[in-house]
Amino acid sequence: MTTSFGSANTALLKDPKLQIPSFRGLRSSGSLALARHARSLSVSSPSPSAIRAVSTPAKPNTASETKRSKVEILKEQSNYIRYPLNEELLTDAPNINDAATQIIKFHGSYQQYNRDDRGPRNYSFMLRTKNPCGKVSNQLYLTMDDLADQFGIATLRLTTRQTFQLHGVLKKDLKTVMSTIIKNMGSTLGACGDLNRNVLAPAAPLTRKDYLFAQQTAENIAALLTPQSGFYYDVWVDGEQVITAEPPEVVKARNDNSHGTNFPDSAEPIYGTQFLPRKFKIAVTVPTDNSVDILTNDIGVVVVSDDEGEPQGFNIYVGGGMGRTHRLETTFPRLGEPLGYVPKEDILYAIKAIVVTQRENGRRDDRKYSRMKYLISSWGIEKFRSVVEEYYGRKFEPFRVLPEWEFKSYLGWHEQGDGSLFCGLHVDNGRIGGKMKKTLREVIEKYNLNVRLTPNQNIILCDIRNAWKRPITTALAQAGLLQPRYVDPLNITAMACPALPLCPLAITEAERGTPDLLKRVRAVFEKVGLKYNESIVVRVTGCPNGCARPYMAELGLVGDGPNSYQIWLGGRPNQTAIARTFMNKVKLQDLEKVLEPLLYYWKRRRQSKESFGDFTTRMGFEKLQELVDKWEGPELAPSRYNLKLFADKETYEAMDKCAKLQNKNAHQLAMEVIRNFVASQQNGKGE
């Protein structure tokens, strides 16, 4: 079922004379004037499901205009993320201009070119889907598989946020690919850009109440924060919006303006014309399950249940984020910290209040500092909580006590709890291609399976009957998709971003170099005597933006030059501690000079069950640097000689008799005599 969605107004801003007034603060009287002016220009009407707010909080007007980044101005002039992308897509050029490059991010795409090629740039586009909880229907998986072959580079990339990335799509094919995804139960809306990104949740299709509740909450949050103005459908399917029923609690929470969160009569009641200052990331999970890297998100939501397993409410963390800039210490990765607890019926209102606090107060002048983590670092958690409570309309309750976090991969075969099985498959760096891709498609198509994508770049096949287990296991193994016991433990937890050749931000290799890198780490393990079943968490990125979350790794490698990396140490296997910079500008060929002493002394000096990350933190970087600087190779174990000191029984008995007079045994006395003799010979005494 489809409906027309404002397609008549996609070319509204073609005329450069039609300029929306300058932005002077999201809640100022200027925003009301902006809304009136936009309506007078016949901005496309929101869909029937879009909510119109009734009031907005007042904010004192200021005489001078606040400084804004270039992207803020582009957003303001884009007619709700349409212009100039809608015009650029009609040109014969293989690329789009700089302004459209920023705008298309909100549609879930980045413009790229192959940096391995010399000569003129060969432009293409990366598309990223949006799949709350990593849920992918059978129909959508098969569609993405087809699109990769027909319009991409014949691979699918699983991301660290439970989505697909499709690389290599040409500009002339963009509309075909986008519309095909939309018509097959998929979307790329908001997978990139300054708005809420894909909402994470544990990918395991368990039928436990808390898991189901976490996943439903993630889907509701995603729906709450989905753009409402229809720009996505105007551009890619000519205004035809695929109608999906929203839960009434989502519509009610979006519509509620009792605490001044919404823009009046706006096509975007939560986002307004400016959307958010920067990307915004949310994850939902259950206690103990840190498969989602909960502390790395702007908002981390944890289900709290009673003793009978019934969900009662949520703990909320805020202020996590990974991105930083090299040689700029005022940028940094940050862990989320506790904000408080809310009853389950309030979660959407609390989330909305946090988002609006960032919308109103996050920096819009310098994008390096626009993430919410910098707002909280500047204000402190107490002030942040106080402001959020104004939009929430009530006080947060005290944070509930939680058990220790664990990393859960969900690899291998497991019971779902409903009589069916699921199978988690490790995919190195999330890249599905070749025979693996062909076999996965055959299995998913033959058995009509739905799938889940994990935050660790892996894939889960769901709803498998017991009778299918053996043939599926055999087929997958023949394609290299092995059960976890046959995969190197280093590979199980490792992650890397795509980096070169297509990412424009990459400084050096990540995905392409990681397989060889992990083999080298394994060789160091063997050299220093570490066992095969021992492992550390290794994550690699080609730049400091942190897409593979390297700052949570026990060993993080962050590109800082051609074939050169920063080395970060101190994360934990359960992703609850932030790593710190240990060394800069370590050349790839010199990696063993650093890893050998670190891993050697971890083996020799660690405490019982002490992880590598905890060991490096306990030792301290100054001591670790000393060990690296003085490293000359592993100490050789002392040679052991089987010395037969006594050739006959009589000699032994005579020596034993003499030894007892000195309270010694025969061996001790014999060794003493020999040492004395050797010493006298060396001193030239010849006694």
What's CA 77's distance to the chain center, in Å?
A: 31
Output the CA angle 174-177-180, nearest 5 degrees.
145
- Residue 106 · residue 83 · CB < 8 Å: no
Confidence check: pLDDT of 134 > 80: yes
Alpha carbon distance 177, 600 (integer Å): 51
Alpha carbon distance 680, 660 (integer Å): 25
Q: What is the pLDDT of residues 26-43, one digit of tens each?
A: 443 333 333 323 333 333
pLDDT of residue 682: 55
What is the pLDDT averaged over residues 442-470? Answer: 98
Confidence check: pLDDT of 263 > 80: yes
Confidence check: pLDDT of 24 > 80: no
Alpha helices, H only, 512-551: 514-528
Confidence check: pLDDT of 477 > 60: yes
Contacts of 218 (CB under 8 A, 6+ apart): 132, 133, 199, 200, 201, 282, 283, 284
CA torsion through residues 644, 645, 651, 657, sign:
negative
pLDDT of residue 665: 73
Query: pLDDT class for 687, splitting at 50, 70, 90?
Result: very low
Q: What is the pLDDT of residues 43-75, one digit of tens each?
A: 333 333 333 233 344 444 544 567 999 999 999
Q: What is the pLDDT of residues 593-602, one digit of tens each?
A: 999 999 999 9
What is the pLDDT averaged over residues 406-413? Answer: 97
Bridge partners (DSSP) listed for residue 464: 421
Average pLDDT, the chain: 89
Phi, psi of 549, rounded to the nearest 5 degrees: 55, 55
* Number of C-beta neighbours around residue 516 at 10 A: 11
What is the pLDDT averaged over residues 430-443? Answer: 98
Q: What is the pLDDT of residues 268-295, one digit of tens each?
A: 999 999 999 999 999 999 999 999 999 9
Confidence check: pLDDT of 534 > 60: yes
8-state DSSP, 13: G
User: Is pLDDT larger for residue 513 or for residue 33?
Assistant: 513
pLDDT of residue 54: 31
Query: pLDDT class for 681, splitting at 50, 70, 90?
Result: low
pLDDT of residue 44: 35
SS3 assignment, position 596: helix
Alpha carbon distance 614, 635 (integer Å): 24
Report the run of H or E that residue 668 belongs to, with start and end. helix 666-682
Closest CA to 166 of 145, 190, 140: 145
Alpha carbon distance 164, 510 (integer Å): 18
Q: What is the pLDDT of residues 84-130, one digit of tens each?
A: 999 999 999 999 999 999 999 999 999 999 999 999 999 999 999 99
Alpha carbon distance 554, 556 (integer Å): 6
Q: What distance, in Å, lies between the first and last C-alpha atoms of the chain?
A: 108
pLDDT of residue 103: 98
- Residue 627 · residue 596 · CB < 8 Å: no
The structure's pTM equals: 0.85
User: Is pLDDT larger for residue 587 or for residue 41?
Assistant: 587
pLDDT of residue 637: 59
8-state DSSP, 542: S
- Residue 564 · residue 587 · CB < 8 Å: yes
pLDDT of residue 645: 62
What is the pLDDT averaged over residues 658-665? Answer: 70
pLDDT of residue 527: 96
What is the pLDDT averaged over residues 508-512? Answer: 98
Tokens describing residue 508:
């050096």
- C-alpha distances (whole Å) from 343 to each of 195, 222, 304, 316, 384 are 25, 19, 9, 11, 20
pLDDT of residue 650: 74
SS3 assignment, position 470: helix
Bridge partners (DSSP) listed for residue 583: 567
- Residue 390 · residue 439 · CB < 8 Å: no
Confidence check: pLDDT of 568 > 80: yes
Query: pLDDT class for 652, splitting at 50, 70, 90?
Result: confident
CA atoms within 13 A on the CB side of 304: 21
Alpha carbon distance 622, 97 (integer Å): 49
Q: What is the pLDDT of residues 173-203, one digit of tens each?
A: 999 999 999 999 999 999 999 999 999 999 9
Alpha carbon distance 529, 143 (integer Å): 47
Q: What is the dihedral of CA 169, 171, 176, 181, to 10 degrees?
A: 50
Q: Angle 138-151/174-182 helices, nearest 10 degrees?
A: 170
